[in-house]
Amino acid sequence: MSYNGYRLVLLLGIISMLGDFVYEGGRSVLPDYMRQLGLDAIAVGSALGFAEFMGWVSRPIGGFIADRTGRYDLIVKLGYGGLIVIPLMALTPWVLPIILLAVAERVLRGLRIPARDAMLARRRGDVGLGTAFGIHELLDQVGATLGPLLAIVVLSTLHSIEAVFLAMTIPYVMLLASITRLPKHVEHAEASYNLKPSRRILLYSVVVGLNSAGLLPASLVLYMVSVETGAGSWLVPAAYTLAMVIDAATGLAMGKAFDRWGGVVVAAGIGVSFLPALLVNTPIPLLMLCASLVGVAVGAQETVFRALVAQLAERDGLGSSYAYYGLALGAGAAVAGTVYGYMIESGTPTVFVAAYAAMLQLTAGIMLMNLLKRLGN
């Protein structure tokens, strides 16, 4: 086993952990802060849905830039260095700058992820690929939990959302110290993207888009918790922490199930995605259950949904297949933010909210099962 390989895997894992610490801590209170600034559910859902979409759009761009410039390490450093946008949110008590900073955070994440994953895959030494990504994902989720936990502590003691954003300066400084230790990685590769996806990838992208459009966004769950508890409540980041923990646990369990049962596990994930819509207008205990169910659905999207792309993709078109998958997921998130935001703000009865979710998830499920039947999966 290569010590240098493990050292780099751990270093990239720590960098990702600290990055998640910063941005997940900020995102755990962002819907609450946007509501405090006067935005309604439609505006919060639309703005953060658009930010999510732009994050997915930027991923293939980031991969192309990394391949063409060959400076993978530099792109990783710039991408993580840009997380200064989170502490800056404390200094911008105006709506438009906050939205722009939220979009910038997602775009920076999308740009750096392909370069980071390429470094992890190429420079891991003798560490197995699965082991390398497993260690990385574990540390990543640690950071995704620590950020909201720090937000809970700050809100419980200082009762200030701005103080939460400023508190993220601490892990951000640690992040800067970590990325300075990242070794240089130059690798000139010819970027060859198959821009015309296979029919099954297009169909699967529609499935993913429908699923994403029908899933109640975590940001709006946090918005509803804020409505129920009042601005600045520690229960808002607590709900996000719960979703992150469930996300991590679900992803691992569903990943193992996928290895055994295949695409039917993806269908189960689509089924779960319907349930959060039933709990949109409920008291705090049920909103916490709603956050947990969103965590299950997102955990499925991040693991088994992505795994099925690799099974469906043509042998020479995996990169572009993931690009189309990501664009569909992001577009669906943008639609979900706007539609659910409108229904929350207009007081749409739960039966109609549930009917919208059921229609999209049922359509996605039927399309998926037909696709799997053709493949014999």
299 contacts 260 by C-beta, under 8 angstroms? no
Question: According to CATH, where is 1.20.1250.20 located in the chain?
Answer: 1-191, 194-377
Report the predicted TM-score, pTM, of the whole model to 2 decimal places: 0.87
CB atoms within 10 A of CB 81: 14
Average pLDDT for residues 126-151, to the nearest whole number?
A: 81
265 contacts 256 by C-beta, under 8 angstroms? no
| Mean pLDDT estimate for the chain | 88
Give the phi and the psi of residue 71 in degrees, each rounded to 5.
-95, 70
- At residue 296, does pLDDT exceed 70? yes
- For 100-109, how does the pLDDT look when each residue is reduced to its tens digit (9 = 90+)? 999 999 999 9
Give the phi and the psi of residue 141 in degrees, each rounded to 5.
-70, -30
Residue 328 to residue 247: CA distance in whole angstroms: 20
- For 44-97, how does the pLDDT look when each residue is reduced to its tens digit (9 = 90+)? 999 999 999 999 999 888 878 887 888 888 999 999 999 999 999 999 889 999
Residue 80 to residue 18: CA distance in whole angstroms: 9
Angle at 258 between CA 368 and CA 219, to 5 degrees: 70
Residue 182 to residue 126: CA distance in whole angstroms: 18
- Identify the pLDDT of residue 129: 56
Could you tell me the pLDDT band of residue 1, with boundaries at 50, 70 and 90? Answer: very low
Average pLDDT for residues 155-175, to the nearest whole number?
A: 96
- At residue 219, does pLDDT exceed 50? yes
Residue 19 to residue 254: CA distance in whole angstroms: 25
- Identify the pLDDT of residue 188: 63
Could you tell me the pLDDT band of residue 195, with boundaries at 50, 70 and 90? Answer: low
- For 303-347, how does the pLDDT look when each residue is reduced to its tens digit (9 = 90+)? 788 878 877 876 546 666 777 888 899 999 999 999 999 999 999
Say which amino acid occupies 210: L
Give the phi and the psi of residue 200 in degrees, each rounded to 5.
-70, -30
CATH for 194-377?
A: 1.20.1250.20
Q: Which residues contact 288 (CB under 8 A, 6 or more apart)?
A: 238, 239, 242
Q: Go through 92-127 and write b for each residue having 16 or more CB atoms within 10 A of its CB, e for each that does not.
A: beeeeebbebbbbbbbbbbbbbbbbbbbbeebbeeb
183 contacts 73 by C-beta, under 8 angstroms? yes
- For 338-376, how does the pLDDT look when each residue is reduced to its tens digit (9 = 90+)? 999 999 999 999 999 999 999 999 999 999 999 988 876
Give the phi and the psi of residue 273 in degrees, each rounded to 5.
-65, -20
Of the candidate CATH numbers 1.20.1250.20, 3.40.50.720, 3.40.50.150, 2.60.40.1930, the domain formed by 1-191 belongs to: 1.20.1250.20
pLDDT more than 70, % of the chain: 90
Q: Which of 8-12, 144-148, 221-225 has the least mean pLDDT?
A: 8-12
Residue 309 to residue 198: CA distance in whole angstroms: 11
Residue 260 to residue 272: CA distance in whole angstroms: 19
Could you tell me the pLDDT band of residue 259, with boundaries at 50, 70 and 90? Answer: confident
